[in-house]
Amino acid sequence: DQQVKQNSPSLSVQEGRISILNCDYTNSMFDYFLWYKKYPAEGPTFLISISSIKDKNEDGRFTVFLNKSAKHLSLHIVPSQPGDSAVYFCAARKAGNQFYFGTGTSLTVIP
């Protein structure tokens, strides 16, 4: 049973435009949500996180929005750059540092 879902396996965006990656979850006990970025043949690297008590967190070009009532979060990348092309994983944490990951969205930023 997938508790964290990323329903879009892939996304293509023009350089300079906004990339929006979406994530849905089912478990209301999650207290933190994170986004990881993964390049081929490398491990995931942490990008940005948000507490369940917040609705927005911003770090440079990256902003994460959380809608608790809809159990939905999104990652906005503005402006998108070719170096952003990677697989993005959404993750959610339950108490005790157990993390549940989505299936990933492959982002391609077209120059």
Backbone φ, ψ for residue 11 (5° rounding): -150, 135
Give 57 or 74: the residue with its C-beta nearer to another protein: 57
In angstroms, what is the minimal distance from the CB of 49 to another protein?
5
Give 72 or 94: the residue with its C-beta nearer to another protein: 94
Please give the DSSP secondary-structure letter assigned to residue 69: T
CA distances from 68 to 8, 13, 56, 85, 98 (A): 20, 27, 11, 28, 19
Give 33 or 80: the residue with its C-beta nearer to another protein: 33
In angstroms, what is the minimal distance from the CB of 104 to another protein?
6
**Taking the alpha carbons of 93, 98, 100, 101 in that order, is the dihedral positive or negative?**
positive
In angstroms, what is the minimal distance from the CB of 66 to another protein?
13
In angstroms, what is the minimal distance from the CB of 4 to another protein?
8
* Residues linked to residue 22 through DSSP beta bridges, in sequence order: 74
Q: Which residues bind another protein (CB under 8 A)?
A: 2, 4, 6, 32, 34, 36, 41-46, 49, 51, 89, 91, 93, 97-104
Give 44 or 73: the residue with its C-beta nearer to another protein: 44
- In the three-class reduction of DSSP (H, G, I as helix; E, B as strand; rest coil), residue 104 is classed as coil
